[in-house]
Chains A and B, each alone.
Chain A
Amino acid sequence: MKISLGPVLFDWGRKGLTAFYELMAAQAPVDIIYLGEVVCSKRSGFEADELISVAKKIKQAGKQPVISTYGLVMSEQEQHFLREVIAQAKEEQIWVEANDMAAIGVGEGGELVAGPHINTYNGETMDFLADVGVNRVVFPVELPATAMKTIIDGQKGAGLESELFAYGRLPLTFSARCYTARAFNLHKANCQFKCADFSDGMRVKTQDGKGFLNLNGVQTMSDPLYNLLGSIDLIKQTGIDIIRLSPQSQNMVEVVHIWRDCLDGRMDAEEGITRMAELTGDQSGFCNGYFYDKPGLDFIANPA
């Protein structure tokens, strides 16, 4: 089973991202690293040529780089950026993760990954995506393990790789409105780049004080970290090829090591979860419900 590092969904800036990818390329036992802005085109991440150059360094470190793209594409500038980065990636034989059908359209016939924001809910959709250049599918986070297994088993020989979002704050949806700006009574057009002050997003609690959601600009996420570390047997039975860990600002190298050790049987899941809880020191704990066809925010402690 391979491990991928999903795209950084938060606004860490060019400097933060550069340091993160240097560290991960050198020290994290992952097979695949996704990079590129998914949430908001206003953020000061990498330009197209910078993305390509970081991707090449990742390749030199022996890992597969994949360029991730926007989850919600609206403007001419965003479409221009897609065309530019996809053309450059093609030249360097680097795969591109589509998170809006615009990227499937622009990258058609190239080497594509259908990201978690592309609606892959059944085997026939997988077969169609294979026909337009998709090599790998990251399932929508709300899809239960049973449906994933049906899809994987039922593919008509397309043989697409399947990837599972297994760790991190769940990317639940996008909006045109920026909720981080709204929390400061600002509009998106004049957001003052508030996202940069929230390296793991802004917590939303219910009025009875429970951690609930997480605001990340135009994206809404789960507050608890989704964590399928206790579900490795079921992940393997489901036929998943790759598990995706979504970057958080702290301890990602250690988190990856725990996953690698658990996957390879060097550590049992219980110990892994305890160590991870210590590392993240997380107030809201973990959730894993989606995988078991339950509400996503549920945590099933002893999954059968």
Chain B
Amino acid sequence: MDKVEVLSPAGNLPSLKAAVDNGADAVYFGFRNETNARNFEGLNFSEKEARQGIEYAHKKGSMANITLNTNPRADDPSAWYRTVDVAAEFGADALILSNLSLLKYARERYPKLPLHLSVQASVSNYEAINFYQRHFGITRVILPRVLTVEDIRLLSEKTSVELEVFAFGGLCVMTEGRCFLSSYVTGVSPNIQGVCSPAKSVRFEHQGGQLQTRLGGVLIAQYEKGEQAAYPTICKGCFEANDQVYHVMEEPSSLNILEMLPEVLDAGVTCLKIEGRQRTKSYVGTVTKVIRQAVDAYYKNPDQFRVKGAWQKVLNAASEGSSHTLGTYEESWQ
């Protein structure tokens, strides 16, 4: 049977090398500008580094995908088109994108460049997948975190496009690419500027013995002394609704698919994606290694597959909030 691909994030060249050296089949990265959805200070690649990164990955037998998953600015889309050109010129193994105008440009200009439909397109059904396949010849779709494993299995029966799913890391719980929560409070959008909950809008404030976290001035959560404070994002905030104070949407926890690995692989998934281009080289290396081990252990003996305690311990330590969830892959989460 074909082995599932392990795809790791790279926020810079050292992380890319850590991913490749720890067994990633492929890596993905973006450029140092608004053209990708992890447009953070001090992160991402220059064109020179991109060329080096692709070369390093190829030399070690891994693939390198370039991320171009924001919407081009209406007044000046040149940086986005330039990224398409560069991806083709540098020999990237795939371009990950979501915007219709870029898909059209990439398909017309570079018919041989494999196109992966970004999670930022939030495509969760075969009618939409068929549309993108028909018009742009996409070969893969990265699924938003809205489908259960059963949904994914049914979807895989209805399409010849490869399915890529998130296996580990930060958990977006919305229709990505169509979520306006960040811009609602900060004016900065993952869909346009490539940033969700920008650091410059974050405040940690001590207030009467409590620690308050704010985003764009809005109180997101407050913590007693000794409690671990999470980075303030709206979807993991603690608010009041229906006369209760609680995490109205989701707790600050990370996605970790390991417990359902056999079901996810059996559902017809081609690629397991690790989230976290904004994380450190050590995170990338560590998480890649564990997912690699787990995947290899599964294929060695699928029927005997058991999640090792040691793997979970390492992954939990790498998690935001130090807790994990299967998220929407399990129906009861919804």
Q: Contacts A202-B242, A297-B184; is A125 near B99 (CB within 8 Å)?
A: yes
Are A147's CB and B74's CB within 8 A? yes
Q: Which residue in chain B gives the minimum CB-CB distance to A205?
A: B240
> How long is the Cα–Cα vector from A290 to B182 in the complex, in angstroms?
12
- From A24-32, A167-175, A261-269, the one touching the partner chain is A167-175
A97 to chain B, nearest CB (A): 15
Are A79's CB and B127's CB within 8 A? yes
State whether the Cβ of A222 lies closer than 8 Å to any Cβ in chain B. Answer: yes
- Interface residue count for A (Cβ, 8 Å)? 74
Additional 18 contacts, C-beta under 8 A, given A74-B124, A174-B174: A105-B128, A119-B99, A119-B100, A121-B99, A122-B99, A123-B74, A140-B178, A142-B183, A173-B180, A175-B174, A176-B145, A176-B173, A177-B173, A177-B333, A179-B249, A187-B331, A212-B239, A215-B241
Residue numbers in B under 8 Å from A289 (CB-CB): 187
Are B175's CB and A173's CB within 8 A? yes
> How long is the Cα–Cα vector from A170 to B181 in the complex, in angstroms?
10
State whether the Cβ of A101 lies closer than 8 Å to any Cβ in chain B. Answer: yes
State whether the Cβ of A220 lies closer than 8 Å to any Cβ in chain B. Answer: yes
Residue numbers in A under 8 Å from B219 (CB-CB): 206-208, 210
For A295, give its contact among B184, B240, B250, B332 (CB under 8 Å): B184
Residues of A within 8 A of B (CB): 71-76, 78-79, 82-83, 100-106, 108, 117, 119, 121-125, 127-129, 132, 140-142, 146-147, 150-151, 154, 170, 172-179, 182-184, 187-189, 202-210, 212-213, 215, 220, 222, 289-290, 293-298
For A296, give its contact among B130, B151, B175, B180 (CB under 8 Å): B180
Are A175's CB and B175's CB within 8 A? yes
Are A174's CB and B178's CB within 8 A? yes
A217 to chain B, nearest CB (A): 11
> How long is the Cα–Cα vector from A119 to B222 in the complex, in angstroms?
34
Are B98's CB and A119's CB within 8 A? yes
Residue numbers in A under 8 Å from B74 (CB-CB): 121-123, 147, 150-151, 154
State whether the Cβ of B142 lies closer than 8 Å to any Cβ in chain A. Answer: no
> How long is the Cα–Cα vector from A297 to B180 in the complex, in angstroms?
11
Residue numbers in A under 8 Å from B121 (CB-CB): 101, 119
State whether the Cβ of B301 lies closer than 8 Å to any Cβ in chain A. Answer: no
Q: Contacts A101-B131, A188-B334, A294-B187; is A125 near B100 (CB within 8 Å)?
A: yes
Are A142's CB and B191's CB within 8 A? yes
Residue numbers in B under 8 Å from A71 (CB-CB): 175, 178
